[in-house]
Amino acid sequence: MALIRSSQAGIGMTSLRTRERMLTRLREQGIKDEVVLSAISAIPRHIFVDEALSIRAYEDVSLPIGFGQTISQPYIVARMSELLRNDQPLQKVLEIGTGCGYQTAVLSKISKEVYSVERIRPLVMKARGHLRELKCINVKLDHADGNMGLPQLAPFDAIIVTAAASHIPQDLLDQLVIGGRLVIPVGTDEQVLHLVERISQAEYRQTKLEPVKFVPLLGGTS
C-alpha cells in the first residue's frame, strides 16, 4: 500500500501537468523570457530535494537541503536567470552558492559554460551528483569561498550570488566583462535584490529591485 502511494506521488510530481502548472505560475508572476522558462521546464526540481519533501518540489517555496541551507524558490531562480540573460545568449557565467545545484542546472541550459562555487564540501558533492545525473556537462563546481570569485577564470558575462551579502564584493565587480551583469541579494535583516551592470572599465550602474530572502553569504569554507 505504502509502495503504491509513493509511486503514485512520484508520477504526480514528475508529470508534465505539475511542471506546466509551475510554468503557468511563473508567467503569472511576470517571468517573460522563454529561454529561461524552457530551461526551468527542462530541469526536474524534485531530484534536488530529499524524497520526503519531493511532493512539494514544484510549489513556489524554498525548501531545506541540509546544513542549514535551502533550495531557492522557482520564482527567484527564474527571475535571477532572466536578469542575467537580459535577452542575450550567455557564454560564461559564475554562480556563488551552488547549494544542491538547482540554479546551476538551470544556468547550464542558458549559458555555454557555468562555474559554480560552494563553501560547504558535502553540498558540492551532492550538487555534483545531481548535475551528473542530469548530464549537465558544461558545469564546473569548486569548493571555495565565493567572496573572491574565480579570478583565474574571469572575466564572466554574468555573475549570480545566491546568498545574501552585507555588501557587494569588489572582487566580483572586477570579474565582470564590460557590459556584464551581477545579480546579488544585499542586506541582512531586510534584503534587496540588486542588479549591477558594468558600463565601462571603471563605471557600474546599480539598480535596486525587489525584497528577497536568502541565507547569508558567509566567509571561509567548511
Nearest residue (CB) to ligand SAH, 17 versus 52: 52
Q: Which residue is listed with cell 540554479?
A: 103
CB of 132 to ligand SAH, least distance (A): 16
| Helix spans in the chain (H) | 2-14, 16-28, 34-42, 74-85, 102-110, 121-133, 170-174
Nearest residue (CB) to ligand SAH, 63 versus 176: 63
CB of 177 to ligand SAH, least distance (A): 21
Pairing status of strand 111-118 against strand 90-96: parallel
Q: What is the dihedral of CA 134, 93, 209, 68, to 10 degrees?
A: 50
Three-state DSSP at 145 gives coil
Nearest residue (CB) to ligand SAH, 145 versus 171: 145
Residues that bind ligand SAH (CB under 6 A): 69-72, 96-97, 99-100, 102-103, 117-120, 123, 145-147, 162-163, 215, 217-219
Q: How far is CA 105 from the centre of its chain?
A: 8
Taking CA atoms, 222 is separated from 75, 118, 119, 143, 144, in Å, by: 29, 10, 6, 9, 9
- DSSP letters for 9-23: HHHHHHSHHHHHHHH
CB of 28 to ligand SAH, least distance (A): 22
Nearest residue (CB) to ligand SAH, 6 versus 210: 210
CB of 3 to ligand SAH, least distance (A): 30
To the query of whether residue 72 is one of the catalytic residues in this protein, the response is yes
Distance CA 204, CA 198 (A): 4
Nearest residue (CB) to ligand SAH, 48 versus 196: 48
CB of 151 to ligand SAH, least distance (A): 14
Q: Which residue is listed with cell 511576470?
A: 30
Q: Which of 72, 108, 111, 116 is catalytic?
A: 72
Can you say whether residue 97 is alpha, beta or left, with left for phi > 0 and alpha for psi between -120 and 50 degrees?
A: left
Residues that are catalytic: 72
